[in-house]
Chain A
Amino acid sequence: MLAEAGLTVHRGETVAVTGSSGSGKSTLLHCLAGILMPDEGQVLLDGERIDDLSEERRTALRRNRFGFVFQFGQLLPELAAVENVALPLLLAGVSRREAVARAAQWFDPLGLAGLEQRRPGQLSGGQEQRVAIARALVARPAVVFADEPTGALDSVTGGQTVALLTGLARRTGAGLVVTHDAEVAAACDRTIAIRDGRTAAAGLTGAAP
């Protein structure tokens, strides 16, 4: 349940949303990403409301302007790593050849070179998360949403992963990271704390409209 929850994320910025389990941080992310519809309030993207869009248009928004990274990657085990990365492009109607070619370009920068044809089951946890990050970024989204992206990783791998994620998210657009991990939050530009469904500014430039 959310109440009086609000935040603004600027282009080129990454924001961490922190809070205890059940505080509503994931629900906030789902509302901002068009996965859930808030009962009240507004969600704006580049000044335009997206919370009142049809289900079809919100789907298109997720496909074309948003990227997602989740705790357990949510890679499709049936597809090779490079095909998983290409998935958003394939869903957008890009030809398989082009989608895979564009997806493959992300493997070297993310330290995944040579793992393109591996299935998710053949990757380590850290590698899986980096594939998920590549998938989130491959369509050059305006916003990358990450929900506990390091929750299943050890601290070293987690630190590397979040550094990669925030760095790339800043370059392609903006990033919103939901986490209960202070180290992950510290890697973001600012932090918004959420408690009992209410947001409170924290960190460097906390802002809640």
Chain B
Amino acid sequence: MIALSLRLLRAGGRNAWSAAGLVATGVAVATALLAFALGALHGLDAREQRVGWRTPAAAPPGTAPVAQLLVRTDHVTDRAIQQIDVVDPRPDAAGPPGLPRMPLPGELWVSPALAELLRTVPADALAARYPVDVPTGVIGDAGLLGPDELVAVVGRPAGDPVLTAPERSEVVASARSEVVAVAGFDRPGEGLGLAEIYRQLTYVALALLVFPVASLLGASARLSAARRTERLATLRLFGASRRQVTVAAVTEVTVVAAAAAVLGIATEWLLAPAIAQISLAGSTWFVADVRPAPVTALAAFACVALLAAGSAVGGLRRVVITPLGVVRRDRPQGARLVRLLGLAAGVAVFVIMSQSIQIAPSDIVGLVFGIGVLALFGAISLIGPLVVRLLGGVLTRRARSAPALLAGRRLLDDPRGPSGRWPG
């Protein structure tokens, strides 16, 4: 049956292809946006992995520190340089990410972008700030936010006078003291930085994207519904079982959605070099950062395909296609108690989540808010048909023209159609 469904889909002709193309475009755009959001999360995670050590957590009591860190922001030609002074380093300890070893007193390690500036900016405007004229080495990508970040790691001996009187720069990383003793560089940083705020916003954006994607998939089931119903009725007439008809409808919708999902993810992948040029927190991105991990992309693809299949099954569950081509409703479209319960539950979850934001840990604030938004949209989608039906009734009763009467009747006949597009 799947093979026959694919054959019918392939041979659908110009109109069918146009409809499928429109749907695929919509789903591809939605999936691309989803992939952008997932890519942003991936990028923020990757950045945190690489530079989390620059917002250092103090070594736990009883732990021997490997160095003391002073993190500050310097400026040159209107650009920010993050300078990390590594004070009194333990030479045998592992160095920070991006460095082959622990920076020793008197050494200067710089990012490639800063190395380039050191070559082009007059020495008295930049190089004179550092203990040596020529950098000891270049920091690798593993220790940078992005390719154009300006970073300097300066090794200093214990008691270096510069530490007590920093000039031209502001201390950014330590709230407790200017110099933080650290037990290593593989520990996550602490504090709610700008990147963390972006991450939380990304969670909300992801939640906001779920309904447009679902809405587009619902539209895909409706767009070619008339022709599909006719075709499925013919199949029923010649002996296709309900299961076979369901398989045919699910195959048709899911194949288009799955192809569009692949296209959407591929679009994000291809646009990643351009997206990576967007500067955030003082640096552009490595291209690999803004592409979602393969497992995440696969999960996004699977979610879109499953949503499409669910949308097709849901559409067929509500109607029975008879052999004579009559689409009749399986159940009356009344206000069912379960809808009202769902509405109450959705609103309750939204209220609880809204209140929880005040007490939720900072790293899941966005997630909590996103769940609340999802619940609210879910409630809207549940109550939507009831409201549309109500409006349809009013319009039908008060209609003074044929178009108004038709519109009212159509709303009464299919309240799910228009209401399904609200959340999207």
A contact residues vs B (CB 8 Å cutoff): 30, 35-36, 55-56, 59-64, 66, 68, 74, 76-79, 83, 87-88, 90-92, 96, 119, 135
In the complex the two chains form, what is the Cα distance from A26 to B154 in whole Å?
A: 93
Residues of A within 8 A of B322 (CB): 35
Q: Are B231 and A62 in contact (CB under 8 A)?
A: no
Q: Are A56 and B241 in contact (CB under 8 A)?
A: yes
Q: Are B237 and A62 in contact (CB under 8 A)?
A: yes
Q: Are B324 and A76 in contact (CB under 8 A)?
A: no
Residues of B within 8 A of A30 (CB): 324
* B235 on the A face (CB < 8 A): yes
Q: Are B324 and A74 in contact (CB under 8 A)?
A: no
Of chain A, the residue at the smallest CB distance from B16 is: A78
* B226 on the A face (CB < 8 A): no
A144 to chain B, nearest CB (A): 13
Whether A59 touches B11, Cβ cut-off 8 Å, given contacts A74-B234, A76-B231, is: no
18 new A-B contacts, CB < 8 A, other than A79-B7, A79-B8, A90-B4, are: A30-B324, A35-B237, A35-B323, A36-B324, A56-B242, A59-B236, A60-B241, A62-B323, A63-B240, A76-B231, A78-B11, A78-B13, A83-B7, A88-B238, A91-B238, A91-B244, A119-B11, A135-B238
Q: Are A79 and B11 in contact (CB under 8 A)?
A: yes
Q: Which single member of A35, A55, A78, A135 contacts B324 (CB below 8 Å)?
A: A35
In the complex the two chains form, what is the Cα distance from A119 to B8 in whole Å?
A: 12
5 smallest A-B Cβ distances: which pairs?
A63-B239, A78-B11, A62-B239, A78-B8, A35-B323
In the complex the two chains form, what is the Cα distance from A58 to B234 in whole Å?
A: 15
Of chain B, the residue at the smallest CB distance from A34 is: B323
Q: Which single member of B13, B241, B324 contacts A77 (CB below 8 Å)?
A: B13
Q: Are A78 and B238 in contact (CB under 8 A)?
A: no
The bracket for how many chain B residues form the interface is 20 to 34
A146 to chain B, nearest CB (A): 13
In the complex the two chains form, what is the Cα distance from A35 to B326 in whole Å?
A: 12
In the complex the two chains form, what is the Cα distance from A59 to B233 in whole Å?
A: 12
Whether A91 touches B237, Cβ cut-off 8 Å, given contacts A35-B324, A76-B231, A79-B7, is: no
Of chain A, the residue at the smallest CB distance from B12 is: A78
* B3 on the A face (CB < 8 A): yes
Of chain A, the residue at the smallest CB distance from B234 is: A74
B3 to chain A, nearest CB (A): 7
Residues of A within 8 A of B237 (CB): 35, 62, 68, 74
In the complex the two chains form, what is the Cα distance from A161 to B347 in whole Å?
A: 65
Total A-B pairs, Cβ < 8 A: 60
Please provide the chain B residues from 303 to 332 with a CB less than 8 Å away from any CB of chain A in the complex.
322-324
In the complex the two chains form, what is the Cα distance from A160 to B241 in whole Å?
A: 34
Residues of A within 8 A of B12 (CB): 78
Q: Are A96 and B238 in contact (CB under 8 A)?
A: no
Q: Are B240 and A91 in contact (CB under 8 A)?
A: yes
Q: Which single member of B8, B242, B244 contacts A76 (CB below 8 Å)?
A: B8
Q: Which single member of A36, A64, A74, A96 contacts B239 (CB below 8 Å)?
A: A64
In the complex the two chains form, what is the Cα distance from A60 to B3 in whole Å?
A: 20
Q: Are B241 and A78 in contact (CB under 8 A)?
A: no
Show 6 residue pairs from A and B whose CB-CB distance is below 8 angstroms, ordered by the A residue.
A59-B242, A61-B239, A63-B240, A66-B239, A74-B237, A78-B12
In the complex the two chains form, what is the Cα distance from A62 to B4 in whole Å?
A: 19
Of chain B, the residue at the smallest CB distance from A36 is: B324
Interface mask (B7-19 → A, CB under 8 Å = 1, otherwise 0): 1100111001000
In the complex the two chains form, what is the Cα distance from A137 to B16 in whole Å?
A: 30
In the complex the two chains form, what is the Cα distance from A79 to B4 in whole Å?
A: 9
Q: Are A68 and B238 in contact (CB under 8 A)?
A: yes
Of chain A, the residue at the smallest CB distance from B8 is: A78
In the complex the two chains form, what is the Cα distance from A78 to B240 in whole Å?
A: 17
Of chain B, the residue at the smallest CB distance from A92 is: B239
Q: Which single member of B4, B7, B13, B239 contacts A59 (CB below 8 Å)?
A: B239
A27 to chain B, nearest CB (A): 11
B328 to chain A, nearest CB (A): 13
B169 to chain A, nearest CB (A): 71
Residues of A within 8 A of B234 (CB): 74, 76
Residues of B within 8 A of A78 (CB): 7-8, 11-13, 16, 231
In the complex the two chains form, what is the Cα distance from A130 to B11 in whole Å?
A: 22
Residues of A within 8 A of B238 (CB): 62-63, 68, 87-88, 91, 135
Please provide the chain B residues from 212 to 239 with a CB less than 8 Å away from any CB of chain A in the complex.
231, 234-239
Whether A91 touches B239, Cβ cut-off 8 Å, given contacts A30-B324, A35-B324, A76-B231, is: yes
Residues of B within 8 A of A76 (CB): 8, 231, 234
Residues of B within 8 A of A66 (CB): 239
